[in-house]
Every structure is written in C-alpha cells, then in structure tokens.
Amino acid sequence: MVRIGQLLISLESREIQLDSESLRIGSRAFDILELLIRAQGTLVSKDEIMRRVWPDTVVEENNLQVHVAALRKALGADRDLIKTVPGRGYRLMLAHEEAPLQHETAAGLLPCASIMLPAGVSALIGRQTLVAQVLGGLNAGRVVTLVGAGGIGKTRVALEVAGQATMRFPDGVVFVPLASVSNARFALEALAGALGIKLPAGRLSSDLIAAEIAGRRVLIVLDNCEHVIDAAAEMARAMTAVNPALCVLATSREALRIQDEVLYHVPSLDVPPDASLGDEILQTSAVQLFLARARTIDPCFSSDERSIFLTGLVCRRLDGIPLAIELAAARAAVLGIEVLVDHLDECFRILTGGFRGVLPRHQTLKAMLDWSYRLLDDTERTLLRWLGVFLNGFSFDAACHMVAAHGFSQTEILDALGGLVSKSLVIHDSGTVPSRYRLLATTRAYALQQLEDNGERKAAALAHAAWPVLAHQRTSGSIL
C-alpha cells in the first residue's frame, strides 16, 4: 500500500481507498498514477506518459490533462501533490521530500546502503535448515531462487535469509516487491525505484541499472517473480554479469531458468503423522504456526488434547501450507476448531479474510490460487482442472486419458504437465517408476471448483470412472 495524501493505494490490486471506502478512477488515470508513484518523485515527461499509457495509439495532449485532472480531483485537498512541470510533464511530491532517502557509504552515494526490508514481519517458525542452506547457496552461487507453491513461505524465508546475510553485503540488502508490479513494463522501474536510481523511465534498461550499481556489494531480493519471469530473469542476469560482488535472491512459483541459478525448493511446513498425539503434534512447525496465529486473535485458544489433535488434523489436510494455515487459524480462533474441521471441505468458502494488512493475493485461499491459475496457458489450465479428479496422484498415462476428449497431442500434454510441475501446481514424486504426480489438497479442491465453474465436472467424473477399467487392461501397472 502506498499513501498519497488521504488516499491509500494498492498497486497490486489497483484499488484506491479514501477513509476505508473504495474510490473509483478510470484505468488510464490509474496507469498515470502508477507511473508517477514508481518515478518516486522524479519528473515523468508527457511523452513518456502518453507512450506508456496509450502504447498503441497517438493521443491528443488534452486527453492526458483530463486524466491528470481526474487524479487531482481524487486527491481532493492534496491535489497539489501532483506538480505540473510546465512544458515538460508531471511529478508526484513525496511525503517527506525534505528527508533524503540516501545514506553515504564507503562505496559512494547508495540509496540502499541500509537494509530495506519490509517491517513488521512476524517471527519465523521452523525452517532453520533451509535458511542455513540458502545462506550457504549465496556463498556458492550468485543467483539463488526459492521456488515453491503459492503461500508456501518463499517470501518469508527470503526475508529471513536477507536479514541474516547483511554482514556479507556491506552496501545493503534491497527488497524489490514485484508482486505489485502489474506487468513486465514496470518491473525495471520497481528495481530502479528500490535502488533509488533516478533515470527517466524511457531510458531504463537492465544493463543501465547494472552499470549504476557496479562494484557495490549488494544483495537484491527479487520477490514474487513468477508473473514477470522473463523480465526478472533478465534483470538478475544483467546485474550479476557485470558485478562479481552482487547477489540476487529471487522468490518465484517458477524458476528463472538462467545459467548458474541455484534452486531451492521450499517445502511445506512439517505436519504431524496420522496417529500422532500430544507433544509429537505440538512439535511440528505447521501446528506451531497455527497456534501462534490463533492465539494472536484469541489468547486463550484451546490447548486441550482434543483441540491439539484437531489442529494437527487441519494442518495435515492443508498440506502444511503456511498461508492456508494462517487463514484457517484466523477462522478457528473465531468459530472454534471443531466447526472449522467440520467445514474444511468448503475450504474456499471458509478460508477467507485473514489478517489485516496482508496482500489482497493472500486474503483468501482462492485469490492465492487464482494468481497461479491466471499465469497458465489454456492447455495447462484444462489439464489442471481435469487432474483435480485424482485423489491419490496419477501417472502420465492417466493424465492423457483424462484429457483425451480435448484432442491434445501427447507432446502438448507433456509440455503442459511439465509446465504445471515447474510452476509448482503439480508435484512430481521422484523415485517412482513410472513417474507419479499429485496435486496438493488445496490445489485439487481449486481444480475441482474450476471444473464445476466450467460445467465439466460430470464429464470429468465419467472419464475418471472409465480409467481404472483401462488401467486393469494395461501391463504398465499404472494405478490411480
């Protein structure tokens, strides 16, 4: 969220709030506002705005003036925060213009010479081994990527690693939140903005930014790269190519796929095995996260044996995904754990409304999965939906059988399945022959909901029912 005068602006969800009420402005006006915000107080020329906001059309200048007037109207008493620079363009006054953002360092004037990490992050639960491994990875490689499913905790681990790596990067640790960048065009601006580099947006390039910070011993955290993956990969490549002292730590639902990238898969938190009891349940990180979150809302959240048992069950059914666990804990604190367990099948209806201040993408389980689903191509989406019928995983043959009616070739299905695995929506259980795949329970529930919404549920159930018969007739031994 960015505050300008009385307005609270989310670049991620493109929403504006005034006194907790949503305020509507046109999408062009919002584009202009986003450009001005990303320019961090520097001039954005009229040409630049017109080129960026109307990329395929030549527009009259008064069009621009109309939209700027609409923005000023939305700002009300703070209308003067948008300054007209006569004959040139516009700039947004920063709230603290007189307080320079920069710090002097041995390496020169570097705006990011301190740790620029989001404040107010709650304590990390578990993950000690992974954090140590990733810190080690930053010694061995220059681009380290944390990959994993949505809400699994990639950003949280990256923040921990960045916080612990500050000694190694005396010129600073810079956090670049790409989730709020609406498209690849703005990724460079986000990076330049986070580094405090002030160049006209039209002149920005990865190489230019890399040259600006040459020689600086910096760790750059590119957070949530998946929706601007090509731009993020190019930025990481360019910055590390010319600067041997710079490292990039990226988080993404998909790998950057650049040379020498060191990948770490972020797994679910530990969940208690089926028959565990008491202390064994309490020692797992998923349960500890659940209880910590529930107790921030209800400090007396039940700790009797049955409640602990049910908490373990919920964490297991949510596959140890921290975001799902946080949403569930918030519900349980209000409704009681028994009610939550009874309604967990309707996870998309009940796992909504988490903690105040979190990203819109994290406010509901559905929004978290929508974000991944939107990034798929049509074949991947179809395959994901139809794979939702498999409760205990599936083989490649079973996947082909499910989407046979769609007329995809085997190569297309291979590509789509590979795409779903690399985008962390399908898990490949390595070590089995033939290979087996599965969906996390929440992803599966999402796929089934999508089948329903597309009117395909019945056809998928019929195709699924036909599969075991075929499987029996095969010698491959594929089982569902």
Residues that bind ligand ATP (CB under 6 A): 122, 124-127, 148, 150-156, 224, 251, 253, 289, 322-323, 326, 361, 368
**Options 83-91, 99-107, 147-155, 468-476: segment touching Mg ion (CB under 5 A):** 147-155
Nearer to ligand ATP, 122 or 139 (CB): 122
- Least spacing, CB of residue 223 vs Mg ion, in Å: 6
CA 395 to the chain's CA centroid: 29
Task: Say which entry of ligand ATP, Mg ion, none residue 151 contacts (CB below 5 to 8 A, set by partner kind).
Answer: ligand ATP
Q: Which is nearer to ligand ATP, 122 or 432 (CB)?
A: 122
Alpha carbon distance 67, 88 (integer Å): 16
372 lies in the binding site for Mg ion (CB under 5 A): no
The answer to whether 380 and 390 are in contact (CB under 8 A) is no
Mutual orientation of helices 322-335 and 365-374 as an angle, nearest 10°? 160
Q: How far is the CB of 257 from ligand ATP (least distance, A)?
A: 17
Could you count the other beta carbons within 10 Å of the beta carbon of residue 376?
A: 17
- Is residue 442 near Mg ion by the rule CB under 5 A? no
d(CA 324, CA 320): 8
Q: Which stretch binds Mg ion (CB under 5 A): 137-145, 151-159, 274-282, 440-448?
A: 151-159
125 binds, among ligand ATP, Mg ion, none (CB under 5 to 8 A by kind): ligand ATP
CB of 292 to ligand ATP, least distance (A): 7
Q: How far is the CB of 161 from ligand ATP (least distance, A)?
A: 12
Residue 323 interacts with which of Mg ion, ligand ATP, none, CB < 5 to 8 Å by class: ligand ATP
Q: With binding defined as CB under 5 A, does residue 224 bind Mg ion? A: yes
Residue 49 Cβ, how far from ligand ATP at the closest point, in Å?
Answer: 30
Tell me which residue has its CB nearest to ligand ATP: 153
Task: Give 120's contacts (C-beta < 8 A, 6+ positions apart).
Answer: 357
Does residue number 243 form part of the binding site for Mg ion (CB under 5 A)? no
Between residues 206 and 224, which has the closer beta carbon with respect to Mg ion? 224
Q: In this complex, which beta carbon is closest to Mg ion, that of residue 224 or of residue 382?
A: 224
Partner in contact with 52, chosen from ligand ATP, Mg ion, none, beta carbon below 5 to 8 Å by kind = none
Q: How far is the CB of 363 from ligand ATP (least distance, A)?
A: 11
Q: Under the criterion CB under 5 A, does residue 155 sit at the interface with Mg ion?
A: yes
Of these partners, ligand ATP, Mg ion, none, which one is at the site of residue 31 (CB under 5 to 8 Å by kind)?
A: none
- Pair 256, 146: CB distance under 8 Å: no
Instruction: Report, in Å, the least distance between residue 226 CB and ligand ATP.
Output: 7
- 54 vs 348 by CB, closer to ligand ATP: 348
| Beta pairing class for 15-18 and 7-10 | antiparallel
Contact criterion met (CB below 8 Å) for 312 and 328: no
Contact residues for Mg ion, defined by CB under 5 A: 155, 224
